[in-house]
Amino acid sequence: MILAWIDDLWNGATTFVTGMRTTGRFLLENLRGEGGASSITRQYPEQPAETIGDRQRGHLHNDAARCIVCHACDRVCPVDCFKMEGERDENNKIHCSRFDIDLSKCIYCGLCVRACPTDSLSMTNAFELDPRRDGARFLFPRSSGQLDVRFEESDVERLQRLSRTPRTELSAEDRTWLDGRIDPTGPHLIGMYGLGYYSPEEKARVDAEREARKKAKDAATKAEAAAKAAAAKAAAAPASPPPASEGAPKT
């Protein structure tokens, strides 16, 4: 019992000395203005960060043109914050029609970025949550009833155009259209990165062009197979006997 009490005193004293020695070293570095301890706490937001580390996990951003809507990020996400849909274009490639990220749910774990096979998902190193990137807005507050509103490609372009225009300069029709899709007081902060759905006319066009390309490819494949079969048949045919030469002696 006494030995345990003495041991606790000894451990407490040595720990205290070690901590004070570390604190004293940092104090001297601060007074001299040298070493890593010379950094001070910045008073945010009056003194915003001047440099941001490369490993900073900012908000998620998706390059929709590279996204193949494979749902790898959706499957690995622990909070189910992704909603995505895609269509086939005229080249039979995936067109990312919808890619929404509910940043109100996101825990910034970065698992989706690691799972993405095309590297279309990334986490910016922005210190603050900026609703715009490269001049285009992609973060919008929305109400629960607005989460499943369908956006065609023309709607996405219109949304970007209206979001860059002051509300006082919008027409009554544009304000009504915008209010049906965006709610400044909405509880969901949605990152909208989809390219928009094809309109019925555009979808009919790309479907017809894709079908025409498929038929042309199938016809070319059949013609190539027929040519190969004919060449193989010609190579397998027995050679004709050489004609008898004139003036050969008769036996």
Q: In the predicted model, is pLDDT for residue 38 greater than 80?
A: no
Distance of alpha carbon 251 from alpha carbon 23, whole angstroms? 121
pLDDT band at 236 (very low <50, low <70, confident <90, very high): confident
Q: Tokens 């304000």 map to which residue?
A: 175
Q: In the predicted model, is pLDDT for residue 99 greater than 60?
A: yes
- Phi, psi dihedrals of residue 98, rounded to the nearest 5°: -135, 135
At residue 192, the 3 state secondary structure works out as strand
**What kind and span of H or E run contains 87?**
strand 82-88
**What kind and span of H or E run contains 121?**
strand 121-123
At residue 32, the 3 state secondary structure works out as helix
Q: Residue 131 has what DSSP assignment?
A: S
Residues 6 or more apart whose Cβ sits within 8 Å of residue 1: none
pLDDT the model gives residue 90: 92
> For the chain, what is the radius of gyration of the CA atoms?
34
pLDDT the model gives residue 241: 62
Q: What percent of the chain has pLDDT over 70?
A: 92
pLDDT the model gives residue 1: 76
Q: In the predicted model, is pLDDT for residue 103 greater than 70?
A: yes
pLDDT in tens, 41-95: 778 888 877 777 777 888 889 999 999 999 999 999 999 999 999 999 999 999 9
Between 236 and 101, where is the model more confident?
A: 101
pLDDT band at 234 (very low <50, low <70, confident <90, very high): confident
Distance of alpha carbon 12 from alpha carbon 196, whole angstroms? 64
Question: Once rounded to an integer, what is the mean pLDDT over residues 229-247?
Answer: 71
Q: Cα dist. 188→81, 104, 192 in Å?
A: 11, 6, 12
Q: Residue 197 has what DSSP assignment?
A: B
pLDDT the model gives residue 125: 81
pLDDT band at 229 (very low <50, low <70, confident <90, very high): confident
- In order of their start, the domains of the chain are 60-200 (3.30.70.20)
pLDDT, mean over the chain: 87
pLDDT band at 26 (very low <50, low <70, confident <90, very high): confident
Structure tokens belonging to residue 142: 């929305």
Which of 36-40, 178-182, 239-243 has the highest average model confidence (pLDDT)? 178-182
Alpha helices in 33-143 (DSSP H): 72-76, 111-115
Answer yes or no: are the C-beta atoms of 197 and 153 closer than 8 Å. yes
- The separation between CA 133 and the C-alpha centre of its own chain, rounded to angstroms, equals 14
Alpha helices in the chain (DSSP H): 2-32, 72-76, 111-115, 153-163, 172-179, 200-236
Q: In the predicted model, is pLDDT for residue 216 greater than 70?
A: yes
Q: In the predicted model, is pLDDT for residue 248 greater than 60?
A: no
pLDDT the model gives residue 44: 82
pLDDT band at 247 (very low <50, low <70, confident <90, very high): low
**Which is nearest to 158 in space by CA: 133, 175, 134?**
175
Question: Omega before 45 cis (within 30°)?
Answer: yes
pLDDT in tens, 105-164: 999 999 999 999 999 999 888 777 778 777 788 999 999 999 999 999 999 999 999 988
Answer yes or no: are the C-beta atoms of 152 and 97 closer than 8 Å. no
Q: How many CA atoms lie within 13 A of 101 on its CB side?
A: 23
Answer yes or no: are the C-beta atoms of 49 and 88 closer than 8 Å. no
Question: Once rounded to an integer, what is the mean pLDDT over residues 171-178?
Answer: 94
